Chain A
């Protein structure tokens, strides 16, 4: 099992009923695995859809919970700057479960000389506004990534709030950037 497949399987195992994504080259294999499982092709399936920006993804996927489902956002960590107001004033304030999986940038394996300016402080930024953050990297295998993503989704449901899983693909079988 690849790391990307592990993340995708973990999202479905968590009970996700709908997934919205904002593309990045790193999460593309995750999205492809999600779509394949759901019977789709070319980045789209009945329950997996592209969205144009992280902020709206929080709105669209956060609303899923009103009908008893679990929405999930798959994105890259540099998009959290776009999403903070929606995450705090909507999902956090209204106690709405939401699973967010984001690949990290700006660390080891990074080529972009600017992206660390947003990506490096992301974990602290998210924790500062009260969002639970779980971090994954090369030190654990695909099985652990699967279980962590799955449990993060359950945790979001049980604690009525968004939960963020950050995954660094450096030195895994995935692509950093």
Chain B
């Protein structure tokens, strides 16, 4: 499974979820597949996707759709504190999808620790409910399963090395992302409030 295939699957599955996407190739490829108001692209905040998603999960109404973070192995390893912090704070509505290709895909494909360090087991040890996927169908099935989990959930997806060709840089003002994402959240909250 290539990253862009995985992102295509996730874009379809998360249309009602707040999505925090890690920087560089992941955000660019996600935006190329589907650019949506529920996507918050972290354009240069290295390693912060899981932390931002954790803060958001603690802040949205518990009945709102789960907050989904899309993270890479290199980025998670820049801020592995995400795992113990998520396990400790244990927001009921947090789902972190880790796309692991074993390299820093946006910075010359230099190797990460992940071929030797089992990131899923680290998440397990920190108290996350985990599932793994290697295919697009497996990704969908694991995602659906983890939506039913009450507590931090971790989807470990193995992807191929390499970035999709001819993807344009994401040249947007971060403030515009804040504005549209915040407006979208407000609408989701309004929907949730009206339904409860």
Contact = CB atoms under 8 A, between A and B. Distances in A.
A94 B178 contact: yes
B182 A60 contact: no
A59 B48 contact: yes
A90 B45 contact: yes
A67 B44 contact: no
A175 B29 CA distance: 51
A176 interface: no
A110 interface: no
Interface residues of A, number: 29
B59 A85 contact: no
A85 to B, nearest CB: 7
| Best-surrounded residue of B40, B89, B185 (most CB of chain A within 10 A) | B89
Given A85-B45, A89-B45, A90-B42, A64 B175 contact: no
Contact of B84 (A52, A61, A93): A52
A60 B60 contact: no
A56 interface: yes
A154 interface: no
A93 B174 contact: yes
Contacts of B43: 89, 93
A51 interface: yes
Interface of A: 17-18, 49-53, 55-56, 58-64, 66-69, 71, 85-86, 89-90, 93-96
10 contacts: A55-B81, A56-B82, A58-B48, A59-B55, A60-B54, A63-B52, A66-B18, A66-B59, A86-B51, A89-B46
10 A-B pairs with least C-beta separation: A59-B51, A63-B55, A60-B55, A90-B45, A59-B48, A56-B51, A63-B56, A67-B59, A89-B44, A89-B45
Given A69-B59, A93-B175, 11 more contacts: A18-B58, A51-B85, A55-B81, A60-B54, A60-B85, A62-B52, A64-B59, A67-B56, A67-B60, A85-B46, A89-B48
